[in-house]
Structure 1
């Protein structure tokens, strides 16, 4: 039988774990290679802001408590069929594919099939962390050339809305946000860099999209780079 002090200590430990779990982002991981699983768990240890939850292919479709799933394409010969199944049955899940391929055409197919991000097996820890932040923010993580292609294919054949007669004018703060956004930084990182909260960052991003005449962050960042908008007017 536990002493009163030991019982209280155990209760406090459970409370702390529950509190940490409540505030952490649970990321599912579908991978067959134990080293891949261990590597991700090393990057995101227990008790941190991100909790890695190993999943099987069928188990991932019924996963609860996760909104983002990393899928190692090496664990299946049918990655496109798997992405199609997620897209059809679990559209709320944000998916990031891990793979050996670094060919832009292949990555574009992965994103086009429903993934919100693609990471090469050789990706650094900083890239993995940033990709998760960006995708969790609701944007897409992929090489800029792939994003530009996707943007072009999405807008191809669509009528171009009449834009403003003059080039958009940005405030100094909007230009600062735009530079960081174009560099691929997610909202929390932009907020930390500029000393503002995430809600304010989102407000600036919304204003930027309205001024540029686009309806998503991908189009905004691609146009910002292509037209060098962050250099000011």
Structure 2
């Protein structure tokens, strides 16, 4: 089957950063890149501009540009709840990153992240998942008792071979584009498989699906 033509290269990504060199660096790297996903358009924004920005798919925020990152995330949650936000920071402590994600960010990147990591983070977040260290994701899932109570008993679950192939790649952290490339299916088909997997397991997001797959060894299940 043919691949969906839309890729990360079709995205306009807003960037809120105090360092002009960071802005220029990302713009240069992505505009000249010929790697997977094609060039990404980086749109420099101020904090007020980010709150009103239209035409951008998500926002990257350098936490160094503000001393009030949590207040800023709360403002985004209140005024633009559907806009996806990825925070870039120096902090490596898992509890701090967990607070960032808990405050509404859909991803956290270290300032040392390379182009490939930034691309993957953008794609994973665009696919509806969260980009953060796996330990952080597991803690977030464990802290959501209501979510855990809806998960179906592992013994009741049965998957097709194709669903297991999709689940394996999802657990490995691959975005939909890569899953489609690996399996030779288009993005619409990938999304349908992921949606069906979530319904079978009894979760409503990809992170919960991945963690449950690991915790309950779901990759060994068959129809």
- The normalised TM-score by structure 2 is 0.87
SS of aligned partner of 1:184: coil
Tell me the distance in 1 between the aligned counterparts of 2:212 and 2:200: 12
Question: What is aligned with 1:65?
Answer: 55
State the 4+ residue runs in structure 1 displaced beyond 4 angstroms: 46-49
**Stretch deviating more after TM superposition (113-122 or 162-171):** 162-171
| Partner Cα distance (2:143, 2:50) in 1 | 30
Deviation at 1:57, TM superposition (A): 1.2
The one-character-per-residue Cα deviations of 1:159-210 (angstroms, maximum 9, x if unpaired) are 8248358341211111110011001111111101111001111111112112
Separation of aligned partners in 1, 2:104 and 2:80: 11
Match of 2:74 among 70, 74, 84: 84
Number of residues paired by the alignment? 210
Root-mean-square deviation over aligned CA pairs? 2.0
**Structure with greater contact order relative to length (CA < 8 Å, sep ≥ 6):** 2
1:18 matched to which residue of 2? none
Gaps of 5+ in 2: 1-8
Aligned pairs (5 A) from 1:1-233: 24-45=10-31, 48-155=38-145, 160-161=149-150, 163=152, 166-232=155-221
1:67 and 1:92 in contact (8 A); partners too: no
Distance 1:147 1:138 in 2: 14
